[in-house]
Chain A
Amino acid sequence: MNRRLRHISALTALFAIGLVGPWLMPAYISQFAQLWLFIVLALSWDIMGGQTGYNSFGNIIYFGIGMYASAVAQVGVVWPVADYTAAKGGGTEFVFTAEQIYTGLALGIPLGGLLAMAAAIVFGALLLGMRGHYFAIATLGLAVAIAELAAGWDYIGAGSGMVTPTLPQEIEGPVLFYYLSLALAVLAILFYAWLYSTRFRLAINAIRDDEDKAEALGHHTTRNKMTAWAISALFTGMAGAIYGNLSGFIDPHDIAFNAEIGVWMILMAILGGKGTLWGPIIGAIVFFVSKELFWTYLLGWQRVALGLLIVIIVVFFPEGIMGWVRSRWPHLFAAPHLDGDEGNAAAAATDERKEAANA
């Protein structure tokens, strides 16, 4: 089986499991929704951290911005936002019809993504001049600052947070948000798969490997870095928008700008293998399932177990699961489509034969 076929069948299998999953395990539907969102987060961290070589500790900013922006839009299409947040979510008068919910989500999720993207362009202009550890530290600082700003802004509920619109009886929340998460994950995976098949992947990998050389070759390195971060923010923001609804309550520190989730996105990508398409997907699945198991069966020790898992990953799989697979079975990663000769010679011959047939 060649590489492309393997790739497509793996994707099809993944999406098929996604579609029927809720019927097989209806009790875990919210967990699975979260898993799909985590896949999006890991993939979106990896385009910067893995593919471009810029370790962002601040992607959680886009998660939070997307979450708040969507919630504000969803409320705002029906009620004045300031009154809604002032009532601390307790006001029973803020009722939403099914139609208003759908309209709100249809507006809120893209808006969350776009606003996060806009933020990434602004922050990118400020921070992407820094390299290596300086960039990492700056993004970390920025994340802390943005969380504090959100926790102090009354319009979005300040420190007491914000409740997402309460669903009317006829909408089954978990099912709706499960399929929204699945749809976003499918969109993200297909988009990244396409993006990494273009020259853009080579351009950002070049920045990762040797930014000075990329510049010496005349690359628009700043533009490429900004594009990568903006794409990363777009998907992270949309994931945040759905995550807020899934959680039902947005707390600035514990949900929206949750430092723990900010670290998890990095861990998932590293666990699975940075700089690959499948690494972050596999990493997210392995990480999320072990996390859920630890939280269920090792309650009280769950963080110790998770910490141990992280240590084991870093010590035994420094290149992640995909990196380990690659070093054991390198032939699985041969890339005939990049060859300029054999494959193309055959293809050229076919073309010639076609032309001859036509003539």
Chain B
Amino acid sequence: MREWQAQDRPLLEVKNVTKRFGGVVANRNISLFVERGTIVGLIGPNGSGKTTLFNSIVGAHPIDEGEIWFDGREISRYRTAQIARMGLMRTFQQTHIFGKMTCIENMLISMPERRRQLRDLFSPGSRADRARAVDLLQFVGLYSKRHHLAGSLSFGQQKLLEFAMALMSEPKMLLLDEPTAGINPTLINGLVDRLRRTNAELGITLLVIEHNMRVIMNLAEYIYCLAHGELLAAGPPEEIRNDQRVIDAYLGAS
């Protein structure tokens, strides 16, 4: 475990979180933290509790034990929408987009809700918003699809759209659930590059679940590995790569 100074507490701090579904312990006593401005990876075999942990962090379900701190506040009792308005946003493993709306409409309705008043809802939206929506669609390479219904896009394109929507909402931190799954392999390098630019240029902190080891080892500066709902290992990529416990967990020996 790394140590940190009291004055620069990490942006996200998960402390001893346990989540049970009936008799199944999906997360047992998990602690991790993500410092402001970093890219951190979360890996582990299928069923190791990564998505459950994401759901716990964004308030999709209550946790049984532990604390979750985000940006100086304990958020484990907050609801999803409240947490989102604080600037902690997640994307889904299976895409969630607004299928019967055009891409540009999807973008426009992803504006940051936390800076909005009720009266903003009853206005047509500014030109600057639309320009930004178009810019971000360009950033993810969906400019030519901007007037298409989001539901008509391919799975990979929907993922890119969802990523752009997340950026549109100007989060402080993004939780990305397998961003490269289902994306055409030839486009993965471009996506990794965009993730890095998101972090470097927009200053958005990233916590990324990823099965593609090449991607996560390249992208993340620190990696947590879960197995059987418990934290198995944590460290920089080169350390994780050579960790015998991690290798065993992935190969099925234990």
B residues near A199, Cβ cutoff 8 Å? 108-109, 111, 120-125
Q: Are A197 and B124 in contact (CB under 8 A)?
A: yes
Q: Interface on B for A, CB 8 Å cutoff? A: 58, 79-85, 89-90, 92, 96-102, 104-105, 108-114, 120-125, 127, 130-135, 146-147, 165, 169
Given A203-B121, A217-B165: A338 and B105 interface contact (C-beta under 8 Å): yes
A1 at the interface (CB under 8 A from B): no
- A335–B147 Cα distance when bound, in Å, is 8
Given A202-B105, A206-B109, A339-B104: A218 and B97 interface contact (C-beta under 8 Å): no
Interface centre among B104, B121, B131 (most CB of A within 10 A): B121
B residues near A341, Cβ cutoff 8 Å? 131, 134
A216 at the interface (CB under 8 A from B): yes
A residues near B147, Cβ cutoff 8 Å? 334-335, 338-339
B62 → chain A, closest Cβ, in Å? Answer: 15
A residues near B114, Cβ cutoff 8 Å? 218
Q: Are A215 and B80 in contact (CB under 8 A)?
A: yes
Q: Size band of the A side of the interface?
A: 20 to 34
Interface centre among B98, B127, B131, B146 (most CB of A within 10 A): B98
A residues near B108, Cβ cutoff 8 Å? 199, 202, 338
List the 6 closest pairs (A to B, CB-CB), nearest first.
A218-B84, A340-B130, A340-B134, A209-B98, A213-B96, A218-B113
* CB-contact partner of A219 in B81, B101, B102, B124, under 8 A: B81
Q: Are A209 and B127 in contact (CB under 8 A)?
A: no
Q: Are A344 and B121 in contact (CB under 8 A)?
A: no
A-B contact pairs, 20 of them (CB 8 A): A195-B122, A198-B123, A200-B121, A202-B109, A209-B98, A209-B100, A209-B101, A210-B98, A213-B92, A215-B84, A217-B110, A221-B81, A338-B108, A338-B130, A339-B134, A340-B127, A340-B131, A340-B133, A340-B134, A344-B127
Q: Are B99 and A209 in contact (CB under 8 A)?
A: yes
Interface centre among A199, A202, A206, A340 (most CB of B within 10 A): A340
A residues near B85, Cβ cutoff 8 Å? 218
- A32–B111 Cα distance when bound, in Å, is 44
Q: Are A205 and B125 in contact (CB under 8 A)?
A: no
B178 → chain A, closest Cβ, in Å? Answer: 16
Residue ID in chain A nearest B149 by CB atoms: A209
B127 → chain A, closest Cβ, in Å? Answer: 5
- A206–B146 Cα distance when bound, in Å, is 17
Q: Are A198 and B98 in contact (CB under 8 A)?
A: no
- A212–B98 Cα distance when bound, in Å, is 10
Q: Interface on A for B, CB 8 Å cutoff? A: 195, 197-200, 202-203, 205-206, 208-210, 212-221, 224, 275, 334-335, 338-341, 344, 347-348
- A305–B98 Cα distance when bound, in Å, is 38
B residues near A220, Cβ cutoff 8 Å? 81, 113
Q: Are B100 and A218 in contact (CB under 8 A)?
A: no
A residues near B120, Cβ cutoff 8 Å? 199
Q: Are B124 and A213 in contact (CB under 8 A)?
A: no
Q: Are B84 and A339 in contact (CB under 8 A)?
A: no
Residue ID in chain A nearest B82 by CB atoms: A218
- A205–B114 Cα distance when bound, in Å, is 20
A342 → chain B, closest Cβ, in Å? Answer: 10
Residue ID in chain B nearest A209 by CB atoms: B98
A residues near B131, Cβ cutoff 8 Å? 340-341, 344
B residues near A206, Cβ cutoff 8 Å? 98, 101, 109
A189 → chain B, closest Cβ, in Å? Answer: 17
- A215–B82 Cα distance when bound, in Å, is 9
B218 → chain A, closest Cβ, in Å? Answer: 27
Q: Are A198 and B104 in contact (CB under 8 A)?
A: no
Residue ID in chain A nearest B88 by CB atoms: A218
- A157–B228 Cα distance when bound, in Å, is 67
Q: Are A219 and B113 in contact (CB under 8 A)?
A: yes
- A278–B168 Cα distance when bound, in Å, is 31
B231 → chain A, closest Cβ, in Å? Answer: 25
* CB-contact partner of A205 in B80, B84, B98, under 8 A: B98
Q: Are B84 and A216 in contact (CB under 8 A)?
A: yes
Given A199-B120, A334-B147, A335-B147: A215 and B102 interface contact (C-beta under 8 Å): no
